[in-house]
Amino acid sequence: MTTAFNPAAYVEQAWGDSVIPALCEYIRIPNKSPMFDPQWQKTGYMQQAVELLHGWTSQRPVQGLQLDIVTLPGRTPVLFAEVPGAADHNPDSPTVFLYGHYDKQPEFDGWQAGLSPWQPVLRDGKLYGRGGADDGYAVFASTLALELLQQQGQAHPRCVILIEGCEESGSFDLPYYVEHLAERLGNVQLVVCLDAECGNYDQLWMTTSLRGMLPGVLKVDILTEGQHSGAAGGIVPSSFFILRQLLERIERTADGRLHESLYVDIPAEATAAADHVAQVLGPGISSRFPWVQGAHADNDNPAQLLLNNAWRPSLATVGLAGAPDIKDAGNTLRPGTQAKLVFRLPPTLDAAAAGAAVKAELERDPPFGARVEFDLETPQTGWCAPAEQPWLAAALQQASSRHFGKPAMHMGMGGTIPFMKMLGDAYPDTQFAVTGVLGPLSNAHGPNEFLHIQTAQRLTLVVSDLLAAAGSQWAEP
């Protein structure tokens, strides 16, 4: 008697035998994004990482796979794959674009004993290490989703897979590749992105919006060189004091309100969605973070916390410079202070206009005549997903029920994926399925990042189901 094919068992075995070992090798490569490793071409880590992914993908039994490492001069390479639909080699056929990235955030401090960014550790169904969840797993899940359909003899549409190496730096290389590969990308009708968050690990989470981002460095100089704090104190104002005054212009300490140019009206549907998600996640919206004892959010309304995260601006000071380490700190009034600021912006706010407003506010009328500069980096406008077509909405619910046992959920996310805005502008009639494995405590960008393996396996199955549904929807009568 022939045993029925079991998709979940096939995926679980493939992950155990092949994907996890390859991801472990990938985690060991410190291929930090270009913003964090300007010498990436010299170190060779980026090339090493993309070649590892190429090597794994090329060995999988995916019929019709055409696989290339594409490198434009001076730009991080991309892994690009094409797989024709069943009996279809027409590049004008409706196409699914599967996206991920392989560049990584820097190490960050605070890893638990036994864990580190560049050493993979398997523990309690999680794979720890930098980049496994954000976003190394994407190419493995995308490739296996196609393989799974072919193993079952199921039809799928034409698919392309693009894995970039610059996402953590704002994807400034990506527009050049999208233009360069436009003909090979073809007629994109569905984008599947596996670089987003999930509210829990119990069901499928679809991202409806992403915030924009405004990074920049605020520099304050009051002296040309440091001075004895006793001799200068009371005469020369501290550069840190001036920095605090400037920050007050854009973030009120009394209530945390940011500059008025950074707000938009929140759509009614976003408020309704936040209310729905709050009913599911409840206190978990805030308790999922590793608070110190006694600390808490500034709001006890879960729905409002979700809206704060997805539709209101926020500011994080992610780096400071101009001061020595505490152990090396002398009694010196420092000549200057620099702060790396990262604003998260509402999805519909124009990032360039916001950047111009913030820069003007910070640089006007410098206190005490200090030299003040706000050096903007790459402003990134956010993104809102178009309404799901009925076939996609049905496919998502069916896939979530089948592989998670619960209905799919939709919510806006606080992060930024520049590629989504870029593709949304390029393909205004395209459908989007943006999801991911970045759930509670997975801590992408921070210490102790982990990939929740079961969720990644389930997402592999979900993507496979979506590809099958797209193939059925687009099949010629």
User: pLDDT tens digits for 116-133?
Assistant: 999 999 999 999 999 999
What is the pLDDT at residue 363?
98
User: Among 449, 420, 421, 423, which residue's Cα sits nearest to residue 437?
Assistant: 449
* Residue 196 predicted with pLDDT over 90: yes
Indicate whether 34 and 165 sit together in one domain.
yes
What is the pLDDT at residue 423?
86
Indicate whether 206 and 219 sit together in one domain.
no
Of 346, 376, 406, the last residue of a domain is 376
Indicate whether 367 and 397 sit together in one domain.
no
What is the pLDDT at residue 419?
83
Does residue 256 form part of some domain?
yes
Does residue 297 form part of some domain?
no
Does residue 164 form part of some domain?
yes
Indicate whether 179 and 162 sit together in one domain.
yes
Indicate whether 41 and 108 sit together in one domain.
yes
What is the pLDDT at residue 87?
57
Indicate whether 126 and 62 sit together in one domain.
yes
What is the pLDDT at residue 207?
97
What is the pLDDT at residue 477?
57
Of 315, 341, 376, the last residue of a domain is 376
Does residue 290 form part of some domain?
no
Number of domains in the chain: 2
Range of the domain at 99: 7-210+383-474
Indicate whether 200 and 318 sit together in one domain.
no
Q: What is the mean pLDDT of the chain?
A: 95
Question: By CB neighbour count within 10 A (0-12 exposed, 13-18 middle, 19+ buried), where does 231 fall?
Answer: exposed
Of 334, 352, 376, the last residue of a domain is 376
Distance CA 64, CA 156 (A): 12
Does residue 295 form part of some domain?
no
Does residue 126 form part of some domain?
yes
pLDDT confidence band for 475 (50 / 70 / 90): confident
Q: Positive or negative CA dihedral for 34, 38, 43, 47?
A: positive
What is the pLDDT at residue 476?
64
Indicate whether 140 and 231 sit together in one domain.
no
* Residue 468 predicted with pLDDT over 90: yes
Mean pLDDT of 357-385: 97
pLDDT confidence band for 418 (50 / 70 / 90): confident
- Give the SS3 label for residue 292: coil
What is the pLDDT at residue 300?
87
Does residue 293 form part of some domain?
no
Mean pLDDT of 191-198: 95
Does residue 291 form part of some domain?
no
Mean pLDDT of 203-214: 96
Mean pLDDT of 413-433: 90
Indicate whether 372 and 459 sit together in one domain.
no
What is the pLDDT at residue 299?
86
Indicate whether 436 and 358 sit together in one domain.
no
